[in-house]
């Protein structure tokens, strides 16, 4: 599927490459969330899945907080543009992993990314589900994409490390009141949308939280949901949710080669 996914992702990245200013509040939220979960280890490492154009990451602040940052995306050109736009040169502390199709990543690719203190998926989940739907997947198959992505995040996190899932849940296309809702009203609006079934397939954060708690392959000891925020991008707004979970200290690592 790599070729088809790459073509679709490049189209998305090209469409948003010049929207740095439009990502400002979203970028502040995502970066702040990541920084809030750093472990404080001197050699701490951050892995960002679906980094793309980097419009939702303040790389300078992240490099100050982490000893190493790994940016992962299927689109290598987007990653190169991301660091150039922020005037940062890749090196030992900032590593770019382009050409990684997270729908079928190789064991070797996963080994290079594993054992990170913090692993973040940034608005990637709905794209993965959309790609699967475009290839004919439906219903339970799409939820399986979600569950595999949650396990991938967990697999890459070291014991006592933290996984963070940031996902868009619904847009103003189907929830027009979102455009004018203040920050205090976003939580109730999120609950209202979920209760009405108005959310992107697989992106119901309450269902994701239940799955994190119930999946026997994910022994986690802390799971939390951040307050939602609105991401205004041109004429469309998105309601964004983020969940964080900590891997248990006694985690028995799954053999990703098997």
Which residue shows structure tokens 């967990």? 154
- The CATH label, of 3.40.50.150, 3.30.465.10, 1.10.10.60, 3.40.50.300, for the domain at 2-176+212-247 is 3.40.50.150
**Which tops the pLDDT comparison, 209 or 102?**
209
How many angstroms separate the CA atoms of 7 and 27, rounded? Answer: 25
Helix residue ranges per DSSP H, 74-185? 76-85, 107-113, 125-134, 139-156
What is the Cβ-side half-sphere exposure of residue 38, based on CA atoms within 13 angstroms? 21
Give the predicted TM-score (pTM) of the model. 0.92
Residue 212 has pLDDT above 80, yes or no: yes
Give residue-wise pLDDT tens across range 79-96: 999 999 999 999 999 999
pLDDT band at residue 39 using 50, 70 and 90 as cut-offs: confident
Phi/psi of residue 120, nearest 5 degrees: -125, 135
Comparing CA positions, the residue from 63, 248, 41 lying closest to residue 157 is 248
Q: What is the pLDDT of residue 258?
A: 38
Mean pLDDT of the chain: 91
Q: Do the Cβ atoms of 19 and 233 come closer than 8 Å?
A: yes
Q: From 4, 1, 64, 67, select the one nearest 31 (Cα to Cα).
A: 64
Residue in 72, 70, 82, 84 with CA at minimum distance from that of residue 23:
82
Asked if residue 200 lies in contact with residue 170, where contact means CB atoms within 8 angstroms, the answer is yes
When mean pLDDT is compared across 32-41, 141-150, 222-231, the lowest value belongs to: 32-41
What is the tens place of the pLDDT at every residue in 159-179? 999 999 999 999 999 999 999
Handedness of CA 137, 142, 144, 145 (dihedral sign): positive
Give the pLDDT confidence score for residue 32 in this predicted structure: 98
The ranges assigned to domains in the chain are 2-176+212-247
3-class state of residue 224 by DSSP? strand
**Structure confidence by residue, pLDDT tens digits, 117-126:** 999 999 999 9
Band of residue 250 on the pLDDT scale cut at 50, 70, 90: low
Distance of CA 136 to the CA centre of its chain: 23
pLDDT the model gives residue 13: 65
Residues contacting residue 77 through CB under 8 Å, at least 6 positions apart: 10, 13, 98
CB-CB contact of 71 with 94 (8 Å): yes
Number of H helices, E strands in the chain: 9, 8
Beta bridge partners of 70: 47, 95
């Amino acid at each position: 599927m790599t070729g088809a996914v790459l073509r679709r992702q490049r189209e998305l990245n090209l469409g948003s490459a010049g929207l740095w200013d439009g990502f400002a509040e979203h970028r502040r939220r995502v970066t702040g969330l990541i920084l809030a979960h750093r472990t404080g280890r001197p050699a701490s490492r951050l892995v960002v899945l679906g980094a793309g154009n980097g419009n939702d990451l303040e790389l300078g602040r992240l490099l100050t907080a982490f000893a190493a940052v790994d940016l992962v995306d299927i689109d290598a050109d987007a990653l190169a543009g991301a660091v150039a736009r922020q005037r940062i040169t890749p090196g030992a502390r900032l590593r770019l992993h382009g050409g990684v199709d997270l729908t079928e990543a190789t064991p070797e690719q996963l080994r290079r990314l594993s054992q990170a203190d913090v692993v973040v998926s940034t608005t990637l989940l709905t794209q993965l589900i959309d790609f699967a739907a475009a290839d004919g997947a439906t219903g339970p198959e799409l939820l399986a994409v979600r569950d595999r992505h949650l396990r991938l995040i967990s697999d890459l996190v070291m014991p006592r490390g933290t996984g963070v899932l940031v996902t868009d849940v619904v847009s103003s296309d189907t929830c027009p009141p979102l455009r004018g809702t203040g920050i205090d009203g976003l939580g109730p609006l999120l609950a209202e949308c979920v209760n009405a079934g108005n959310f992107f397939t697989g992106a119901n954060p309450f269902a994701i939280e239940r799955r994190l708690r119930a999946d026997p392959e994910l022994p986690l000891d802390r799971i939390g949901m951040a307050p939602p925020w609105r991401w205004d991008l041109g004429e469309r707004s998105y309601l964004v949710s983020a969940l964080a979970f900590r891997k248990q200290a006694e985690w028995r690592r799954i053999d990703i080669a098997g």
